[in-house]
Structure 1
Amino acid sequence: MGQIKAVVFDIGKVLIEWHPERFYDSMIGIERRREFFADVDIYAMNEHLDLGAPFRETVYAFADKHPEYSAQIRLWHDSWIKMAAPEISGSVHLLRAIRTKGIPVFALSNFGIGPFDVASKHYPFFNEFDQKYISGHLQEIKPHARIYELLEQGSGLLPASLLFTDDVRKNVDAAAARGWQTHHFDGPAGWAKALVQSEVLTAEEAAL
């Protein structure tokens, strides 16, 4: 592999847990949650957030359109940080270990502006990225080619010098198609091994 000039992290399910189904199961029970998610396309609403729509206004307007689930939908805003928890400590360790080596760490994430602001206040490491490419601000989402292009242009780095991890295969494939080095994230242990294989970290630094 060529020399890595920056490591690029997805955030949801890589650095923090993100399981809305699990959250709603705990709040309203599995059966009611299944009915809710079957009747209401909550992820379509979330995609509007990821593209930069205002957080509270978008969620509350969607709740008003679905009065039978309005209380549950409003939780997407009111209890959002509980859905986006906890942090994945092994991945946070790796992020910090990489930066300690003097290698820049970027965020490339489908993330709304409001949710990202909330998370930045809750998780200190959200403020430790050297550069942030957040879909809400860019109004582009993965796996569309444009968001990867914006990172290349913003960083001034060649695709082959970027190492990217994401839990979503199509997002990884889109980066690989541009010539990025990639890793399909399936847990901190596998990511740690990939960083060692890429000579970004030693086994000791990666806590292997």
Structure 2
Amino acid sequence: MAIEAVVFDIGNVLIEWQPERYYDATYGEARRREMFAAVDLHAMNDRIDRGEPFRETIYAAAEELPEFRVEIRDWFDNWIKMASPAIPHSVRLLRTLRAKGVPVFALSNFGIESFAYAETQYPFLKEFDRRYISGHMRVIKPAMEIYELLEADSGVAPEALLFADDRVDNIKAAAARGWKTHLFTEPTGWAESLVSHGVLTGSEAGLWKT
């Protein structure tokens, strides 16, 4: 079946998401390792991605571990430094697909308030035809429900969806639904996948070949 819509994850596909890199640069690797061993900040972030309040959730976690209060609050106070920079080639692919008339969806684990903030920093986040943001949906990948909700809302058959995500578990869940998938590691590979599935030409994908 031909591809009818292309689905982008956002973190590490369109925008780099590297909290550990931020903490290493700001506080040092040893301090970061000590903190991450003491508190599961990614689990905290999953709660935000399920729709819990952004600042309140992080600040409450900081009060539970006062020896790391400043560092944990940074997850809110300096969040944009963790969610940066944009990945230019991926952004070009998004815009090229839309210019060609290919429907483009976002399917991302993202908090309600953090996504609203990200929109102010990355205008391309407003350019999708449809956006499926976990905080609004109250369910995160790789739960099967989130994929089912996208299918039901968009009306696109699973076999006609092509999805890029940087996490193996999210890709496996989509593939189990019948979606065509690409495990994102860098944008050239994603561009090649779009070409191999007949969605873009090599030139359109920035590969400089036809």
Q: Smaller-chain TM-score range?
A: over 0.9
In the alignment, the residues of structure 2 paired with residue 73 and residue 202 of structure 1 have an alpha-carbon distance, to the nearest angstrom, of 45
5+ unaligned residues in a row in structure 2: which ranges? none
Indicate the residue corresponding to 1:116 in structure 2. Answer: 115
Indicate the residue corresponding to 2:69 in structure 1. Answer: 70
Percentage of pairs with the same residue:
60
AA aligned opposite 2:138: Q
1:206 aligns with 2:205: yes
Indicate the residue corresponding to 2:178 in structure 1. Answer: 179
Matches within 5 A, 1:129-148: 129-148=128-147
Note the C-alpha offset of 1:4.
Answer: 0.9
Indicate the residue corresponding to 1:12 in structure 2. Answer: 11
In the alignment, the residues of structure 2 paired with residue 170 and residue 45 of structure 1 have an alpha-carbon distance, to the nearest angstrom, of 19
| TM-score, L = length of structure 2 | 0.97
5+ unaligned residues in a row in structure 1: which ranges? none
List, as ranges, runs of 4+ consecutive aligned residues in structure 1 with deviation greater than 4 Å: none
| TM-score, L = length of structure 1 | 0.98
Cα deviation digits, residues 81-113 of structure 1 (max 9, x gap): 010000011110111111111011100011111
In the alignment, the residues of structure 2 paired with residue 164 and residue 43 of structure 1 have an alpha-carbon distance, to the nearest angstrom, of 23
Cα deviation digits, residues 42-80 of structure 1 (max 9, x gap): 111111101000001111111111111010011100110
SS at match of 2:106: strand
Instruction: Report how many aligned residue pairs link the two structures.
Output: 207
Indicate the residue corresponding to 1:160 in structure 2. Answer: 159
1:50 aligns with 2:49: yes
SS at match of 2:150: helix
Cα deviation digits, residues 142-172 of structure 1 (max 9, x gap): 1111000000011011111110010101111
Indicate the residue corresponding to 1:151 in structure 2. Answer: 150
Note the C-alpha offset of 1:41.
Answer: 1.1
In the alignment, the residues of structure 1 paired with residue 3 and residue 43 of structure 2 have an alpha-carbon distance, to the nearest angstrom, of 35
In the alignment, the residues of structure 2 paired with residue 179 and residue 29 of structure 1 have an alpha-carbon distance, to the nearest angstrom, of 43
Superposition CA RMSD, Å: 0.7
Note the C-alpha offset of 1:196.
Answer: 0.5
Note the C-alpha offset of 1:127.
Answer: 0.5
Indicate the residue corresponding to 2:29 in structure 1. Answer: 30
